[in-house]
Amino acid sequence: MSVTTEKATAETPGPATAPPTRAGGKRRSWVPKWALATPAWLWFLIFFVAPVGLVFYYSFGYKPGIFDTVATDKLSFDRYVEAFEPNYIPIFKNTLQISIIGTFLCLLVGLPFAYWLAVKVDPKWRGLLLGLVLVPFWTNFLVRTIGWQIILAPDGFLSGLLQDIKVLSSPLGIDKTRTAVQIGVVYNYLPLMILPLFVAFDRLDPTLREASKDLYASRWATFRQVSLPLAMPGVVAGLLLVFIPLMGDYITASLLGGAQGTMIGVLVANMFQSAQNWALGSATAVLLIGFILGTAALFGAIGMIIRSIVRRHRRIDLGAVA
Amino acid sequence: MTDRNDVVNVLAHPAAARRISRRAFLAGATVTAAGSSILISGCGGDDEPSSGASAAPSGELEDQINMYTWGEYDWPKVMKDFTKEFGPDIEVSSYNSNEEMISKLVATEGTSGYDIVVPTGVFIPQMVENDLLQPLDLERIPNFENIGEEYRDQPWDPGNGHSVPKAWGTTGYVYDKNHVTRPMATWQDFIDAAQNEASGQTSILDDPNESIGIYFWSRDEDWNTEDPAALDQCEDFLVNELAPHIKAFESYPGSSGIPQGSYWLCQAWNGDARQGIITSKENNWEWVFPAPRSELWMDNWCIPTGAPNPNAAYAWINYNLDKDVSLQTLSWVGYHTAVAGIEPAAEEAGIERLDMVFFTPDQVATMDAGEVNNSQQRRVEIANNMKAAAVG
């Protein structure tokens, strides 16, 4: 993770000039090249493609009786009609709101931190600090979230502290609310934002920043016009890494959310578990997948449009300077 | 419906109960006789070697038990004692509703790996019909003789062919008297408080039938109705009038919500409510067994089909039916364990808050057992719509 700039630049040309088989002429391997990826694609086939395929298949089925979970002898789109039930719209809206706000809060907190860690911090401390970012991952996700339950409780220590220092006059009332979920998700997903951002900033050639300063750009202009655009792939990766799992989150919402913080993941789990209706649960899960892809695509499109506008704007600027 | 009334009668009127369960008593007596002839020494309380021998007449105990049960339903100390005495380690996972447990058993088709499940009585007939439970050999549970007569041979499992009682209890509510100051005695009081001073600070059980129950119990109507019009009205009430005031759907507020002060008003099962009140630092919680009607449920020890450690499972069930062990369990979980004579024993032992464990015959007469009927899917749908409405 803590690849320094020198190493990164030294390594990048590596794979590009790599194919020795072609250069070596006749020494062709008997094993096809894709064989190296066999464990990976087998894994994906068995544990990803097959179950997701099954979920798709079940989503066209129905629940035949109280004690049967799913039947697929008659296939229809009826479950999708049920899943589009107007009653569930508040849950979809809630999920989207928590996810978008959560993702941007992660970016807001993660971006300056990652920049500071990659650019400003003395390299000898960098590994340690990065390790500290990862420390929460050493503890189970569930346990960490239950920890927040205790912190945010009305008689928890945060509530006591805030009352002691007279910030609050009555016990803290945010457990089992949307706000609690919002806090929980930012905490749970922040490292997923910081890591790709750190890598992106870490790979920036410092000489580019120096060049920018040499051209009399302010610090802010250097960040905005040099560092940030070059780190954009990291920003996009971070946004996706946080947004996608957050949309499907189930643990944070069910532990911290109460009635108000219900997200689609909770609804899907409910349909599989208490309702025992795998067909409806599957249809809702497929809708969720579509919803995530749709939202990500929408934001992608907005991003592209903004970028093209900015570029056009900037080109004019450059033209004026020239 | 008749089944339901039978259950009430069985628990309500000792005279009637004796009449109804004579058959069971005879069956039980035979079992006991057969059991003790094998055991020679019988099963005298805590006497380890004898009960150890009794537990496994037909096989060595395996070294593990996987138990799938309700939350906080066994005292960890009792489980440790069992492991110390007999060997098998006990792994526990818990569920929030019968539906959740059943769906897991159905999905795994006998490969769930669980040795013990604890369904509520009314769910047993269909679980048996769907081959989810093994027939029980009562000869391997000699302590079955400790079960009170009125709790044996229930309509949903005649002759205890597939289950033995674990505990029974009811549904009521607790409120924080610092915030709710009106007199509280009925389900209507619960609803009024939830819509007013406890709005946004109320939790209800995360179980479809329990939410639906609030509506029917408060109106003194049959909560097992299959009448679509009645269920529509119930849905309208829950979705539009109750859901907006609900803070959380939580099956075990006693484990953290009550002691942490997360709510002011909680629907709760009596034992869980008792645990919550006992662990609260401040003495601000009141328990209400609400009028005019409420629920009566009985959970039962069962061994699922395909259980990998049946001998250890039998030993564990038998251990729990021991009078002393049963009293220990009661002191912690706070539910009547259906063992005969447990009430005087608990009073003598000075166990706290017994008013939340034992109920008078008059109270029991207002409790109705649930039912699993054709409206089940509709009920789950109502609960889901209520949850969606609570997001607001």
Give the DSSP per-residue string, A50-78. Answer: HHHHHHHHHTTSB--STT---B-SS--SH
The answer to whether A90 contacts B385, with C-beta atoms less than 8 Å apart, is no
Bridging pattern class, strands B285-288 and B171-176: antiparallel
pLDDT score at B32: 35
Measure B159 CA to nearest chain A CA, in Å. Answer: 24
The pLDDT value recorded for residue A303 is: 86
Token reading at A191: 């490292």
The model scores a pTM over 0.80 = no
**Residue where the block lists tokens 């061994």:** B303
pLDDT category, A26, cuts 50, 70, 90?
A: low
Is the Cβ–Cβ distance between B132 and B380 less than 8 Å? no
The whole-number pLDDT of residue A137 equals: 83
Give the pLDDT of chain B (392 residues) as one tens digit per residue.
434 444 433 443 333 333 333 333 333 333 333 333 333 333 333 333 333 333 444 578 999 999 999 988 999 999 999 999 999 999 999 988 888 898 889 888 888 899 999 999 999 998 999 899 999 999 999 999 999 998 999 889 999 999 999 999 999 999 999 999 999 999 999 999 999 999 999 999 988 899 999 999 999 999 999 999 999 999 999 999 999 999 999 889 998 889 888 899 999 999 999 999 999 888 899 999 998 999 999 999 999 999 999 999 999 999 999 999 999 999 999 999 999 999 999 999 999 999 999 999 999 999 998 888 888 889 988 998 999 899 87
Question: Each residue of A273-288: pLDDT tens digit?
Answer: 777 788 999 999 999 9
**Stretch A151-155: mean pLDDT:** 85
Give pLDDT, residue B57: 46
The pLDDT value recorded for residue A169 is 83
Q: Which of A63, A94, A275 sits opposite B391 (nearest CB)?
A: A94
Pairwise CA distance, residues B225 & B282, whole Å: 40
Residues of chain B positioned with their CB less than 8 A from the CB of A276: 99, 102-103, 106
- Cβ <8 Å between A260 and B256: no
Contact assessment for residue B209 and residue B311, using Cβ atoms and an 8 Å cutoff: no
Partner residue facing A274 (CB), from B126, B380, B388: B380
Q: Using alpha carbons, select from B149, B98, B7 the residue that is nearest to residue B379.
A: B98
Predicted pLDDT at B230: 96
Contacts of B40 by beta carbon, 8 Å cutoff, 6+ apart: none
Strand partners for A301: none
Q: What is the pLDDT of residue A44?
A: 92
SS3 A8: helix
Instruction: Determine whether the interchain pair B390/A259 forms a contact, defined as Cβ–Cβ distance below 8 Å.
Output: yes
With an 8 Å Cβ cutoff, are A271 and B384 in contact?
A: yes
pLDDT grade, residue A290 (50/70/90)?
very high
Mean per-residue pLDDT over chain A, rounded: 84
Question: Distance (Å, rounded) from C-alpha B70 to C-alpha B92?
Answer: 9
Q: Sign (positive/negative) of CA torsion B145, B151, B156, B158?
A: positive
Q: Distance between alpha carbon B154 and the CA centroid of its chain, in Å? A: 14
CB contact under 8 A, A67 and B107: no
* pLDDT (0 to 100) of residue B30: 35
Cα(A125)–Cα(A260) distance, rounded to whole angstroms? Answer: 42
**Calpha distance B157→B135 (Å, rounded):** 11
Chain B residues with CB within 8 Å of chain A CB: 96-97, 99-100, 102-103, 106-107, 126-127, 129-130, 203, 206-208, 239, 243, 246-250, 256, 260-262, 281, 372, 374, 376-377, 380-381, 383-385, 387-392
State how far the Cα of A172 lies from the Cα of A153, in Å rounded to an integer.
Answer: 7
Is beta strand B202-204 parallel, antiparallel or unpaired with respect to B265-269?
parallel
Angstrom distance (rounded) from CA A27 to CA A97: 57
Task: Please report how the helices A89-115 and A228-247 are oriented relative to each other, as an axis angle in degrees rounded to 10.
Answer: 150
Q: What is the pLDDT of residue B197?
A: 95
- Model pLDDT, residue B18: 35
Question: What per-residue confidence (pLDDT) applies to B198?
Answer: 94
Give me the interface pTM, i.e. the ipTM.
0.73
What span, in angstroms and rounded, lies between the C-alpha atoms of B351 and B345?
Answer: 9
Contact B103 A63 (CB under 8 A): no
The answer to whether residue A23 scores a pLDDT higher than 60 is: no
Among A58, A158, A176, the strongest candidate for a mutation testing the B interface, having the largest count of B CBs within 10 A, is A176
One-letter-per-residue 3-state SS of chain B: CHHHHHHHHHHHCHHHHHHHCHHHHHHHHHHHHHHHHHHCCCCCCCCHHHHHHHHCCCCCCCCEEEEEEECCCCCHHHHHHHHHHHCCEEEEEEECCHHHHHHHHHHHCCCCCCCEECCEHHHHHHHHHCCCECCCCHHHCHHHHHECHHHCCCCCCHHHCCCEEEEEECEEEEEECCCCCCCCCEHHHHHHHHHCCCCCCEEECCCHHHHHHHHHHHCCCCCCCCCHHHHHHHHHHHHHHHHHHEEEECCCCCCCCCCCCCCCEEEEEHHHHHHHHHHCCCCCEEEECCECCEEEEEEEEECECCCCCHHHHHHHHHHHCCHHHHHHHHHHHCCECCECCHHHHHHHCCCCCHHHCCCCHHHHCCEEECCCCCCHHHHHHHHHHHHHHHHC
Over 80: is that where the pLDDT of A20 sits?
Answer: no
| pLDDT tens digits, A160-209 | 888 888 888 888 878 888 999 999 999 999 999 999 999 999 998 889 88
